Amino acid sequence: MTELLKIVMLDPHLLRKDIDAVSRGLAKRGFELDIERLQSLERQRKEIQVRTEELQAERNRQSKAIGKAKAAGEDIEPLRAQVACLGDELKSSQARLEEIQEELDEFLRGVPNVPHESVPAGDSEDDNEVIRAWGELEVQDFVPKDHTTLGETLGLIDFEAATRIAGSRFVVMTGAIARLHRALIQFMLDVHTREHEYVEINVPYLVNPDSLFGTGQLPKFAEDQFHIEKQDLYLIPTAEVPVTNVARDAIIDSEKLPLKYVCHSPCFRSEAGSYGQDTRGMIRQHQFEKVELVQIVRPADSYRILEELTDHAENILQQLGLPYRVVVLCGGDLGFSAAKTYDLEVWLPSQRRYREISSCSNFEDFQARRMKARWRNPATGKPELVHTLNGSGLAVGRTLIAIMENCQDENGHIHIPEALHPYMDGMTVIQ
């Protein structure tokens, strides 16, 4: 492994020191690192680069010789022919070097982050480990309705109208449900800015390919994005993308860390594939809204801050009185860029199961390396990569669903959590 590893998305020092350890770590998440191909590409790149540098040096030497021969009145045509031949060979060598470099870059761009040592082994969400649970699961003396039935019965959620306007997996909310949705956004922003000391930020909802590459959505997850081809811009899949990219190509002063941002935004995902019952209702849609938490921190602080950020997301659920549990994702269920992730799963009575409402992740320096996001370490005076973290605080639509289902009564009325009363102009029940 040589200088090429400066472009890799993993720590080049770790790859040089023990590529087998990297391979074992990636295997924990079900990714097989093709070490033989990687090392073969690197050998080819090194050989061609050495040859290219030799040809460049020889051409420079011969060019100087032409100048001396001309000054001495000697015949320079043989030397000109040699330089022309060297130039052709140099161009061919440079072209081949670019081809190998691109092949190697493409290979490395597809390598995910290495899981933290504390991440449990496992192949799927069935192997995730429950860390803790909060709230009582009330046994209702009636059959709870799902959010779709509740909303349509109240006449406040209309999927048919959304289908006419846009297509499937969209929704139109009106009246008290639309207001409750807005109240949740304002409540979450207020809690995170006032109690958790995040700075509210407003960002573009369209981003360029570099931004998606920086946070790890491109190139691997291109099919999940909505792409505006003419301008080569993408609708954001989450506010994580534009907010984290605020630090791209920057060197942040130590005293400014951690950067703590909270951002409300719509999110757009193509959701390729079928998800069974999730295609009904608001569980999985092409357009939804989130309040996102992003922290950019010193590397030594990132795992402490992961616990802190997770607690901030949990606090929203606790203030709303919604039962939930926290699970740590196993290697096989871990996102491409994450080193460790906690999922918060809220209880949905109609499904008799917990469903994800937030993912809180530490990406360590994986995203920072792609974005060239750095801080100046006062101990060395040199720029070093930051660590990045993010989490939903929370997904607004799924929080709305959880309130509708957990706070319903036998008449199909929805009792609004007390924490939201100030945001609902005195309304306490939707009926």
Q: Would you please indicate which residues are annotated as catalytic (active-site) residues? A: 269, 284, 356, 359, 398
**How far is residue 342's CA from residue 26's CA, in Å, rounded to a whole number?**
19
Query: In 152-258, which ranges are E strands?
Result: 157-158, 172-173, 199-200, 206-207, 227-228, 233-235, 251-253
**Which of 360, 372, 331 is CA-nearest to residue 112?**
331
Handedness of CA 102, 17, 367, 124 (dihedral sign): positive
| DSSP codes of every residue in 143-175 | -PPPHHHHHHHHT-EEHHHHHHHT-SS--EE-H
**How far is residue 25's CA from residue 121's CA, in Å, rounded to a whole number?**
10
DSSP state of 141: S
**How far is residue 190's CA from residue 315's CA, in Å, rounded to a whole number?**
12
DSSP state of 327: E
Q: Mapping DSSP to helix (H, G, I), strand (E, B) and coil, where does residue 69 land?
A: helix
**How far is residue 299's CA from residue 312's CA, in Å, rounded to a whole number?**
20
Token digits of residue 375: 């801080």
SS3 helix, strand, coil % of the chain, rounded to 5? 45, 20, 30
**How far is residue 118's CA from residue 340's CA, in Å, rounded to a whole number?**
8
372 φψ region: left (φ > 0), alpha (ψ -120 to 50), beta (else): left
CA distances in angstroms from 2 to 18, 51, 98, 211, 383, listed in the order given: 13, 16, 16, 27, 21
Amino acid at 375: W
Q: Mapping DSSP to helix (H, G, I), strand (E, B) and coil, where does residue 286 land?
A: coil
**Which of 184, 132, 128, 118 is CA-nearest to residue 314?**
132
DSSP state of 247: G
Token digits of residue 184: 């949740």
**How far is residue 303's CA from residue 319's CA, in Å, rounded to a whole number?**
25
